[in-house]
Every structure is written in C-alpha cells, then in structure tokens.
Amino acid sequence: MEQFKYYAPTKILFGKNTEAEVGELCKTQGASKVLVHFGGSSAKKSGLLDRVCGALQEAGLHYVTLGGVVPNPRLSKVYEGIEICRREKVDFILAVGGGSVIDSAKAIGYGITNPGDVWDYYSGKAPQACASIGAVLTIAAAGSEMSNASVITNEDGWLKRGLQSPYAYCKFAILNPELTCTLPPYQTASGCTDIIVHTLERYFTKPGVTSLALTDGMAEALLRNVMRNARLALQKPADYDVRAEIMWAGTLSHNDITGDRSQGDWASHQLEHELGGMFDIAHGAGLAAIWGSWARYVLKQNPCRFAQLAVNVLNVPYSFGNDEKTALEGIAAMEDFFRSIGMPTSISDMEIELTDTQIKELAHKCSFMGRRTIGGFVTLNAADMENIYRMAR
C-alpha cells in the first residue's frame, strides 16, 4: 500500500429534518451574511428554500439569494455570484441543491478570495483560499458535499473544467435523504451511476499501487449496495431507507474513504466532462455511456483487477485461469446494470450521433490541445481518447 494522507474536514448532519439546524450551523462557522445559492425550481417547489431561509432568519443571520444554477454549472452564473457577494459583503455561501449548485458555490468562493479572473484557477493557476461553504444536499450523486473538487463550464468555448484544492471542502453538509424523494427517475439513476463510477475510478489504481483489502472490501460493499438500492429507488422513490442508503454511499464514494483519489484512474470522468461541455448531458449518464468502452480499452493492463470486480460485485462466476474472460463478463454485467436503471451504454443511446470531426474535437479538448494525458490505471493520449470516444459512439 502506498503512503496516503486522509483529510475529510466536513461536518455531516444526516437524517430527517436536519436542515432545521442550518442557521445555527452557519452561525457556528462565523457567518454574518449568507449567500443562499440554488438551482432551477426543485428547492423552491418543495418548500426547502423557504425552510432554509427561515432557519437563517431564526438564527439572526442576514442573507441574499441567487438561484438559477443549471446542471453543468456555468461560469456566467459564477461571475454573477461573485459580484453579489462583493456588493453585499457576503462572508458565507450556502448551497441548497446538488453537485452543480455546490460547485457553483465553490467557484464563487474562489472568486471572492483570490485575485484576478476566477476562470484562471480552472485553467491551471493554484488558488490560495476559498470562502466558507456549507451545503444542504438535494441529490445523491456528485459527492461535492465532501470532496475537494468543483467543475465549471465556460460558455466561451464550452469548456468544462475541474479544480481541486484543500480550501474547497464544505464546512458542513446537511444530508436529509427525504429531500431526495422528489428526484425524477433519470436523475436518481444518473446520480447512482456517478456514485458507482467515483468508486470505480479509485478501484482502478495506478500500476504498482495495491490497495488495502479493507479498502477494496469497502468499495465493493458500496458498489453492491448502490446497485441494489438504485433499482429499489426506481420502484419505490419515496422509500426513506432506500434513499438513505444511496445518500450516504454518495458522500462516501467521493470523500476518499474507498481509496485515495490521487492514486486512482479518472479517465472516464475526464472523457465525460468533454461530453458534458459539448452536449450538456447529465454527468452520470455520460459516465455510463463511456465506462464500458474505457474498461474494454484498458482491460489488458490488469485483467485480474477487472475479474475481482466481476466476481465480488457483479456475481460473475470465476472462469478458472481465465481472468480476461471473467473481466469481460463483468464489464458486460455492469453495462447490463446501467441499462436496467435506464442509463445509456453508448453515446448514441443519448441521441447524440457523434461525427468524426466531433470525436477529434472532444479528444483535442480533453487532452488540453495535446498538452496532457489522462488516466492513472492506463495513461491515455489524444489518440487513445479518440479511440475510446469512437468505441463508445
């Protein structure tokens, strides 16, 4: 096992009605004026936004609101938030929503605490700070509530770029599974897929990195649990216990408990981000469309690892002495699962007919115009990226 550092500073409040405590939590963090940041309509419609604002008022806190964050959150909204925060002297940002809202909050937080254009920090410059962020989570998916990451889309060129730094961890996250009962089936399934792939990205480690058996066991248990509960959530969307299983799995899938992010692969994520930037698709759906092709492309690097996943998670019987056969059956079984919850397993399943020119453009952007490779398990250059997009087409 490699050396690793584990840092997970986010305070979690889990369970029914925990959002009632949000005012006191913000106060404990030293907030005096809060930006309440949210998405389209769901938090308003459910009454959550009113409850959150009421709790802030009760705690004696001033606040301003900014809604309208869209999935694949946009840089223009981030600029709007930065301006409001400066004008209103906001010192705490409260995200009420999913990964998109939390990521937008993080970007605003960078914007008000670092000099210059915030996009520079999503283009390679290292930030030195981020404002304090809290989250009331409404969808189990991206894991941003406990991750150090945020992903923003710049409409100028439709570039979707991530930024990771230790400053971006939420101070607290409120996880009330009941809040996720209103999710449409596609978002539930897409969220579960993202949770699964966060775990898989860590499972497929860099060559020479062996994970602890305990870590593997936790990852495999998490995967089995999410697969089981994803199906149940589609049958019984309002079942609290099912939603609770998925919600906690979502947070744990991206807080490094199932493996150190820096030792993992992440190629599927990078390939998906370009698809999300270009076609504005749901992140989890994009991952489902790409993962099988990635897996088949890199399989020969370590068939044994894929075979372990197949046997321990996907109920594939081990073909004695033939890891590759077991591995391929495992990949097919994972794709069967994605299809069973209504997810695509190819790009055309999302009604996108990729042209050769678009494939080249995706690979060009994903390789940062040829300046970077992706993937920890197997290093992929622009030509490899093209091949995978073509396989997934």
179 binds, among ligand NZQ, Zn ion, none (CB under 5 to 8 A by kind): ligand NZQ
147 binds, among Zn ion, ligand NZQ, none (CB under 5 to 8 A by kind): ligand NZQ
365 binds ligand NZQ (CB under 6 A): no
Q: Where are the alpha helices (DSSP H) in 39-130?
A: 42-45, 48-58, 75-88, 99-111
Binding segment (CB under 6 A) for ligand NZQ, from list 69-77, 236-244, 292-300, 337-345 = 69-77
34 binds, among ligand NZQ, Zn ion, none (CB under 5 to 8 A by kind): none
Provide CB contacts within 8 A for 217, sequence distance 6+: none
Work out the widest C-alpha separation in the chain, in whole angstroms.
67
CB of 269 to ligand NZQ, least distance (A): 6
Among 81, 191, 264, 330, contact with ligand NZQ (rule: CB under 6 A): 191
CB of 177 to ligand NZQ, least distance (A): 10
Q: How many residues does the chain have?
A: 393
> Site mask, ligand NZQ, residues 322-341, x = CB under 6 A?
--------------------
71 binds ligand NZQ (CB under 6 A): yes
N-to-C CA span, the chain: 37
**Tokens in use for 342?**
């209504």
Residues 264-303 touching ligand NZQ, rule: CB under 6 A, are: 269, 276, 283
Residue number of the CB atom closest to Zn ion: 194
Provide CB contacts within 8 A for 241, sequence distance 6+: none
> Site mask, ligand NZQ, residues 80-109, x = CB under 6 A?
-----------------xxxxx-x------
**Residue 227 vs 271, nearer CB to ligand NZQ:** 271
Which residue in this structure is represented by tokens 């409040």?
Answer: 13
Alpha-carbon distance 200 to 190, whole Å?
A: 15
Alpha-carbon distance 313 to 203, whole Å?
A: 12
Question: Could you say which DSSP state residue 120 is in?
Answer: G
Binding segment (CB under 6 A) for ligand NZQ, from list 5-13, 33-41, 305-313, 354-362 = 33-41
149: closest CA among 79, 67, 253? 253
**Residue 23 vs 286, nearer CB to Zn ion:** 286
**Tokens in use for 151?**
């992903």
**Beta strands in the chain, from DSSP E residues, in sequence order:** 11-14, 33-38, 62-66, 92-97, 133-137, 149-154, 159-164, 172-175
Alpha-carbon distance 7 to 134, whole Å?
A: 17
Binding segment (CB under 6 A) for ligand NZQ, from list 111-119, 178-186, 350-358, 362-370 = 178-186
Task: Collapse the DSSP code of 380 into the 3-class scheme (helix H, G, I; strand E, B; otherwise coil) and give the result.
Answer: strand
**Residue 100 vs 132, nearer CB to ligand NZQ:** 100
Binding site for Zn ion (CB under 5 A): 194
Residues 232-271 touching ligand NZQ, rule: CB under 6 A, are: 254, 269
177 binds ligand NZQ (CB under 6 A): no
Backbone CA torsion sign across 76, 78, 79, 83 = positive
Among 22, 34, 36, 43, contact with ligand NZQ (rule: CB under 6 A): 43
Residues that bind ligand NZQ (CB under 6 A): 39-43, 71-73, 97-101, 103, 138-139, 141-144, 147, 149-151, 179-180, 182-183, 187, 191, 194, 254, 269, 276, 283
